[in-house]
Chains A and B, each alone.
Chain A
Amino acid sequence: MGELILDISELKTNFYTYEGVVKAIDEISFSLEKGDTLGIVGETGCGKSVTVLSLLQLILPPGKIESGRIVYKANGKRINLLEQSEPFMRNVRGNEISMIFQEASSALNPVLNINTQVSESFLLHRQKELCESVLENLSERVDKSKRFSRLFLRCLNYRYKKKLRKAENNLLKHGHYGRLIKKDAKRLTIDLLASLGIPNPSEVIKRYPHELSGGMQQRVVISMALACNPNILIADEPTSNLDVTIQAQILDLIEKLKGEYKTSILFITHDLGVIAEIASKVIVLYAGALVEFAPVRELFKNPLHPYTKALLNSVPKLERRERLESIRGNVPNLVDPPAGCRFHPRCPGVMDICRSSKPEQIINRTHGGQVHSVACFLYRNTKAWYEN
């Protein structure tokens, strides 16, 4: 087992709405290995987005993270993100852990051009580097210039030296960056877009989101997330509204990045086909509860939880021409979720105990020694359940 970069335990988030308390996620525990890709699957509304938003503490009132631990390991230090201050978290967001969102068209601000939006990532997290490069550039120009413009450059130099003091701690505020720093960030933005295979980046950055195609918009959104080479990339259904060819291109892009930068990835989708392609391990969520965790091959070959089985059965397969099975019943209302196992009203193998108590995660190992766990009473007495 590799080194854990993220270890989440018993994370619980509620929304206090007028209809009542929405128990969106209920004591979810999982972990992400360094350089690995973990898939998160589940139907719409099962709490996938809330889970990852909670990780970065992006949940706004009426939502509240009730309890749990999010241990993030970087530079040899282990820190519980839930205990950190807001300024600390701001430094983590988009810098060490960044996110790609579902709909690129709504994730981009319609009234700002691409440059303003992408370079914002650099301006927020690379202030020191930008400032230093500006100063270096200035001192070069001072050496070459004539007396009069030299005076002007000296003044500029003085201004940016003052900025550097703040920039060292990333304390430059919006509106105080200065023209030269913005110009330098623009240069980085062009390089970044070029490295993501966007043709003609110096033209593209002048455009507004509505002037780009859907695939291009998603690339821009990805570029914002990758600007600062994050340790962890969270992708929340990044391909669900794109057509198949563009979807494949985006997946290729993410694969390539993973190979290049050893980024650890949390990949959310409701598309099991995509999961099979990109993830190495998978967690399955149902109605805010984690029901199964397994390596991806294992999950497809040997699903244990009745919900996972039903989910896999609802996926069309080329070699199987039988009718698609849909899961009977409805996704429960999370204001008043079913007691015990949240899946019990829809479960074909429901037992008495399922209605009263909550199933624990039962951990077992596959033949290869990998962890496969499931939260279901069907497996409470069996040790070698994966062998049947």
Chain B
Amino acid sequence: MNFLNYIIRRLLLLIVVLIGVTVVIFILMALFSPAQRASAFITDIKQFGDIDSIIRTYGLDKPVYIQYFNWLKQIFQGNFGWSTTVSRPVIDAFKFFFPNTLELALFSAPIIILVGIWIGSLSAVHRDKPVDHFTRVLAIVGWSLPTFWFGLILLMIFYGYFQGLFPPEALGYKAHTFVNSAEFVRYTRINSIDALLNGELWIFVDAIRHLVLPVITLTVVQIALVMRIMRSSMLEAMGKGYVLTARAKGAAWKTVIKKHARRNALIPVVTVSGWLFALMMAGVVITETIFNRKGLGWWWARAATQLDIPSVLMAVLFNGILFVVTNLIVDILYAYIDPRVRLG
């Protein structure tokens, strides 16, 4: 029950951290003038004419702590203000953009983890053999490519020479129209999944074709990173006493790798995966902008350049919460893999 205890303790900590996140965001907001802050409470474009009444309604001239609670109340009611970049309430924009980003993440994360770990251990097991040299060169190249540069190169190749194979945006014109028609039920608002649920295979294929380049752009750096960490931690684990013990027991090399070395080698990978996730959110902004894929990153990039304060605040809050939650998941995973952590 050690493990359960640990999770409960972490969940309690999560609440404290989330409160911290909102406080930080609120302090950021305090940097703006009351009129600017008022925009965070606007839910309809018509309200722009009467900023003064908003300042009065939401008490933006009141003491700071009262403002903080007012703001929290608004947030819990789902009121995040008006996004000038996309001309609709922030919360609606979020509901619109989020599925596209989620789709990108859902396809990228497993690829990063599985491919990175697989190639990394392969490289370690075949140390100094051709496989190892090859993958190490790939890793160095992949790691040193800036995401935007790599994305632009892909763009050049596939929009220039192989036009139409992997098109930009999230869906083709025909698919897009069909998806938004009454015939198509939006169960999850994630194109590829909805396509399968509706039994429309061609839409699924279309969605995947639109995903290929963004997913490659987003994953290549991180696969390289995971792979390098996995390789070195695997090599370290293979030299450990317990691996020798297992071999002396008569276990086959393959079993030794699978049962004894790999799990230990995963510990450093899990440790950095929270950080990896932060890297991925940065990658999402760049990737979606390059491939004109209308997701959260695409929206935020615009919001930031057009001083769309409510959208940016929402982005900060969202990333804060996401980061805290992923770190919680990482910690739980960490404790699951390494029993020594559960004590602390």
Footprint of B on A, CB under 8 Å?
56, 58, 90-95, 98-99, 101-103, 106-113, 120-121, 124-125, 173-175, 208, 210, 221, 224-225
- B255 and A109: CB pair below 8 A? no
- B338 and A110: CB pair below 8 A? yes
Taking CB atoms, residues of chain B closer than 8 Å to A101 are 241, 244-245, 248
**A16: shortest Cβ distance to chain B, in Å?**
12
Taking CB atoms, residues of chain A closer than 8 Å to B246 are 109, 120
- A94 and B337: CB pair below 8 A? no
Taking CB atoms, residues of chain B closer than 8 Å to A174 are 251-252, 254-255, 258-259
Interface residues of B in 238-252 (CB under 8 A from A): 240-242, 244-252
- A110 and B260: CB pair below 8 A? no
Given A90-B250, A98-B248, A221-B245, output 12 extra A-B contacts at Cβ < 8 Å. A93-B248, A94-B249, A101-B244, A106-B241, A108-B241, A109-B242, A109-B264, A110-B340, A111-B267, A112-B260, A120-B246, A210-B343
Q: How many residues of B contact A (CB 8 A)?
A: 25
> What is the CA–CA distance of A277 and B340 in the complex, to the nearest angstrom?
37
CB of B62 within 8 Å of the partner chain: no
> What is the CA–CA distance of A91 and B248 in the complex, to the nearest angstrom?
10
Taking CB atoms, residues of chain B closer than 8 Å to A95 are 250
> What is the CA–CA distance of A210 and B2 in the complex, to the nearest angstrom?
14
CB of B339 within 8 Å of the partner chain: yes
Pick the contact of A108 from B245, B250, B259, B263 — CB < 8 Å?
A: B245
Pick the contact of A93 from B240, B249, B258 — CB < 8 Å?
A: B249
> What is the CA–CA distance of A51 and B245 in the complex, to the nearest angstrom?
16
Pick the contact of B242 from A58, A107, A125 — CB < 8 Å?
A: A107
Given A109-B264, A110-B338, A174-B258, CB of A224 within 8 Å of CB of B249:
yes
Taking CB atoms, residues of chain B closer than 8 Å to A224 are 245, 249
**B337: shortest Cβ distance to chain A, in Å?**
6
Given A103-B241, A109-B264, A174-B258, CB of A208 within 8 Å of CB of B249:
no
Interface residues of B in 295-338 (CB under 8 A from A): 337-338
Pick the contact of B249 from A103, A112, A124 — CB < 8 Å?
A: A124
Interface residues of B in 192-212 (CB under 8 A from A): none
Taking CB atoms, residues of chain A closer than 8 Å to B337 are 111
Pick the contact of B263 from A92, A102, A107, A111 — CB < 8 Å?
A: A111
Taking CB atoms, residues of chain A closer than 8 Å to B251 are 90, 120, 124, 174
Given A103-B241, A109-B264, CB of A98 within 8 Å of CB of B249:
yes
Taking CB atoms, residues of chain A closer than 8 Å to B245 are 99, 101, 107-109, 221, 224
**A65: shortest Cβ distance to chain B, in Å?**
15
Pick the contact of B339 from A90, A111, A124 — CB < 8 Å?
A: A111
Interface residues of B in 208-245 (CB under 8 A from A): 240-242, 244-245
- A109 and B260: CB pair below 8 A? yes
**A175: shortest Cβ distance to chain B, in Å?**
8
- A94 and B248: CB pair below 8 A? yes
Which residue of chain A has its CB nearest to the CB of B239? A60
**B82: shortest Cβ distance to chain A, in Å?**
51
> What is the CA–CA distance of A98 and B267 in the complex, to the nearest angstrom?
30
Given A107-B245, A109-B260, A111-B264, CB of A92 within 8 Å of CB of B250:
yes
**B287: shortest Cβ distance to chain A, in Å?**
35
Which residue of chain A has its CB nearest to the CB of B255? A174
Interface centre among B248, B252, B337, B343 (most CB of A within 10 A): B248
- B242 and A210: CB pair below 8 A? no
- A58 and B249: CB pair below 8 A? no
